[in-house]
A and B are shown apart, each in its own frame.
Chain A
C-alpha cells in the first residue's frame, strides 16, 4: 500500500512540475507532461526503478483521461459555423484524414515492413489534426473569430472524427456484440441531448456535481460496451461530446468545473504515461524512419488539403496557412498510438516513433505557418481599431519606413 502513495506522489509531483514549467515558458502542459514523462520513464528504466512504469490504476486514470479528453474535443464543435460552411468543411476535413491515413499506412506496411495492424495504427495516428494546436495559433492572431478560422476548426473536427471512427471500427470484432454496441450507442445518441438537457436543468449547480457524474456515467457505460465489442471507448465519447456540444455552449460553469477535474486528475496521467513509454534507444535506432514518417504525413496533408483549399477559392496565402495547420497533430495521435501499444498492435519501438512524429507535427508546421504564412485578412480587420489623426505638423515627423 505504501508503494501506491510513493508512486502517486512521484506522478503528481511530475504533473505539478509540468504545470509550473508550462506556465513559465508558455508551452502547453500536455507537451511538457509528455516530455517530463519521457525523461522520467527513461531515467527510471536506466536506474532500474519501477516508479514511473504504468501500473493498473495509472492505466485506468490515463485511459479515462483519454476518454474525457476525446469527449471534450467532441463537445468543441460549433454547430452553427459547421452548418454554414458545410461543403468545404466536409471536403477539406475528409481528405485531410484520408490521404495521410492511407499514405502513412502504405509507407509503414510496404516500405518499413510493419505488419498490417501496426501499419493501420501508424495511418490512424498520423492522419490526425490537432484542433487545439490550431486554436492556440489562431487565438494569437484573432483568426479564431473569422470565417476562415471557423472553417479550419470545423475541418479539423471532421478529420478527428475520421480518426476516431477508424480507431473504433477498424479493430472492432464484427460479431453480435458490435451490433449491440452500435444499436445502443445510436439510440443513446438520439435521446442523450434531451435527457442531458433535462438532467442539467434539474440537478446542476449542486456541490455533489451530479451533472459531471452523469457525463462520466454515460462515458463509462458506452466505453464498456465499446470495449466489449473490441472497439474503442473514445468513439462513443467523441460522438456523445458532439451531440451535447450545444448544451456546453450555454453552461460555461459546467465546463469550467469539468476542466478542473480533468486537468488536475486525469489528463496528467494520460500525457505522462504517453511520455514514459517513449524509449530513447528506440528513437535513436529509428531516427531515419521517424523523419520518413513525418515527411509522409506532411506530404500527404499538402497533397490532400492544398488543392481542396484552392478548389474552394481560398487565396494562396490562406491556402498555405490552412494546409500547414491541418498538418498538425497531438492529442488524438497520442491516443491512437497508445491504443495500439495497449492492445499489442504495435511494439514500444514503433510507439516511440509514432508519438515523436505526432509531437513533431504539433510543433514544426505550426511554427512555419506562423512565421511565413500568417493570413493578412486578420491584420486588415484589426486596423479598424485605430483612427489616424495626424495634423500638418505631425507629417513633419513621418514614421521612418514611409
Chain B
C-alpha cells in the first residue's frame, strides 16, 4: 500500500526505532525508503557569514555521519535507503519535504533530540502529525 516512505532521522533512540520500523515497512510494501536529517539550530541573525559557514560545515559532517549509519543499517536489512539533508525547523522541514516529494507515509520517532523543549512546546512528532499531507506513523 505504501510506495514512498519518508523517515525523519536525528540519531535519537526514537529515530532509531523508527528506522527499524521503516526498514520493515519498506520490505513489506516494496516501498522506497528515504531518510531525512534536518539540521536544526544553525545560527540565525548571524554577525558574520563565517559563523554560518562553519556551523553549516559542522552540521553537514555530524548529520552526514548519522545518515551513513542509517544507510549501513538499512543495507544490512536488505533495503536501499535514499538520504536527504536539509537545514531548518524540524517539523516544518519534514512537512515541506513530505509535500514536495509526494510521500505517502512519514515515520517519526516518538521523542527526538529536542525532548526537553518538547514538554513545553509539543514534540516534533505531534507537529508533523498535525500538518503532514499524508499518513504519519509515530514509532514508540
Contacts and interface: CB of A to CB of B under 8 A. Distances in A.
A27 B47 contact: no
Given A132-B51, A263-B51, A26 B46 contact: no
B135 to A, nearest CB: 8
Contact of B4 (A139, A366, A382, A388): A388
B80 interface: no
A313 interface: no
A383 B100 contact: yes
Contacts of A23: 41
A179 interface: no
Contacts of A76: 49
Interface string B1-31: 1111000000000000000000000000000
A108 interface: no
A390 interface: yes
Contacts of B52: 132, 135-136, 139
Contacts, number: 130
A72 B102 CA distance: 42
Interface in B111-140: 132-135
A362 B46 CA distance: 8
A386 B42 CA distance: 25
Interface in A369-402: 379, 382-383, 385-386, 388-391, 393-394, 396-402
B83 to A, nearest CB: 11
Contacts of B103: 399
A271 B47 contact: yes
Contacts of B44: 26-28, 136-137, 366
Contacts of B1: 393-394, 396-397
B50 A397 contact: no
Nearest to B105: A397
B50 A259 contact: yes
A330 interface: yes
Interface string B49-63: 111101010000000
A385 B101 contact: yes
| Interface of B, helix, strand, loop or mixed by DSSP | loop
Contacts of B40: 26
Which secondary structure characterizes the binding site on chain A? helix
A308 to B, nearest CB: 24
A255 B41 CA distance: 23
Contacts of A398: 104
Contacts of B49: 72-73, 76, 131-132, 135
- Determine which residue in B2, B49, B52, B99 has the highest number of CB atoms from chain A within 10 A of its CB, and name it: B49
B133 A394 contact: no
B42 A136 contact: yes
B48 A25 contact: no
A22 interface: yes
B48 A73 contact: yes
Given A139-B42, A379-B100, A400-B132, 4 more contacts: A136-B52, A389-B3, A391-B3, A400-B133
25 contacts: A25-B41, A28-B47, A29-B51, A73-B48, A132-B48, A132-B51, A135-B49, A135-B52, A136-B43, A136-B44, A139-B52, A259-B50, A259-B54, A271-B47, A330-B47, A379-B100, A383-B101, A386-B102, A388-B4, A388-B101, A390-B104, A393-B3, A394-B1, A394-B104, A396-B1
Interface of B: 1-4, 32, 40-52, 54, 56, 84, 87-88, 96, 99-104, 132-135
Give the 10 A-B residue pairs with the shortest CB-CB distance, closest first: A30-B47, A26-B41, A386-B101, A28-B46, A394-B3, A28-B43, A136-B46, A132-B46, A399-B134, A401-B133
